[in-house]
Structure 1
Amino acid sequence: MTAVDAVTAAGIEHRVVRHGPVGSVAEAAAAQGVEVRDLVKTLVVRRSADDYLFVLVPGDRQISWPKLRALLGVSRLSMPDAATAKEATGYERGTITPFGSARPWPVIADERVRGRTISLGAGERGVALQVPADAAVSALGGTYADVTDPEVSRRR
């Protein structure tokens, strides 16, 4: 099942946006006509062997590993390499979405997306799904939590 099929089957109001190639979160937000904070990155996090979860992170923020570890009650988390992430989800990095994933991993959405319309990956390059965050998180059986920090600029 594709991501678009999964969102449709869940009965979630959505808009498919075909925006073509982009090189950054800011470019993707501009191409879709949304604010960077509403472009939500779906990150795959490994708790242990064959145990993953999706973390939905606003485009202007990054995962706070201490907050996420405390929430999950674990001392160690990691991000899988690209091949392992594809195996776990069925999607390539940059296209990952919880909708239509190869396995229905748990979903944690940063609380800052609550009540907003967000743009998620749609399982293929240059395509996004704009959905109401609350409907999406509910349909995925997800939870909201404070699991991010402001994005730190990597420029020097």
Structure 2
Amino acid sequence: MGTGPAPGRERFLAGAAEVGLQVDVVARAAAGSLAEAASLLGISPADIVKSLVVKHKDGTFLFALIPGDRQISWPKLRALVGVNKLSLPPADVALDATGYERGTITPLGSTHPWPVYADAAITGKRISMGAGAHGYSAFVDADALTAALRAVVADISDPN
């Protein structure tokens, strides 16, 4: 498969298979925004889940899964994790932490199995998320995803 988007997508698919998760990956045109991506996929922005890499003050990371129509709530996430400082790292640090570029990040197939925190607003839905490579999206049952990743599911977001 060599160069291009395939290695990240293949790692994503292997990660999903490793935890027994059924995912459907679709190719899509490049999108300039989350709203445009939702339109291309024929879904609402709320059904696209952003996988955010968050840096812990101790130098470790975690994933926060946030619906596209919401934003991370730093006070809620800090309280849940039990720390007073969390941050979004620069793109190169996120790449080093996960093996994925921004816009393709997913906990599935990450080069390190960081803990996952999922916003409660995604429960009970079929969602779309990054599939490890630009130009691809994955569809998955959110409840199966959070179970497979042993995610902490809680209110960790606020409306945009």
TM-score interval (norm. to shorter):
over 0.9
With structure 2 as the length reference, what TM-score do the two structures score? 0.91
**What residue number does 1:114 align with?**
123
| Deviation, structure 1 residue 49 | 4.3
Q: Per-residue displacement from partner, 1:81-107 (whole Å, max 9, x unpaired)?
A: 000000000000010000000000000
Q: 1:21-63 CA deviation, whole Å, 9 max, x = no partner?
A: 0000001111111111010000000112431000000000000
Distance 1:139 1:85 in 2: 22
Task: Indicate the RMSD between aligned Cα atoms, in angstroms.
Answer: 1.1
> Residue 2 of structure 1: SS of its match in structure 2?
helix
Residue of structure 1 equivalent to 2:29:
20
Secondary structure of residue in 1 paired with 2:137: strand
Q: Which runs of 4+ in 1 moved over 3 A?
A: none
**Partner of 1:85: helix, strand, or coil?**
helix
Instruction: Pick closer, same or farther for the CA change 1:118–1:18 going to 2, 3 Å.
Output: same
CA distance in 2, matches of 1:130, 1:17: 8
Match of 2:148 in 1: 139
Task: Report the identity percentage.
Answer: 50
- The TM-score normalised by the length of structure 1 is 0.93
CA contact (8 A) 1:19 1:126 kept: yes
CA contact (8 A) 1:40 1:118 kept: yes
What is the 5 A alignment of 1:31-110?
31-110=40-119
Does 2:5 match 1:4?
no
Structure 2: unaligned runs, 5 residues or longer = 1-9
Partners of 2:59 and 2:150 in 1: CA distance: 20
Structure 1: gaps spanning 5 or more residues: 152-156
1:126 Cα offset (Å): 1.2
Name the CA distance, whole Å, in 2 between partners of 1:35 and 1:70: 29
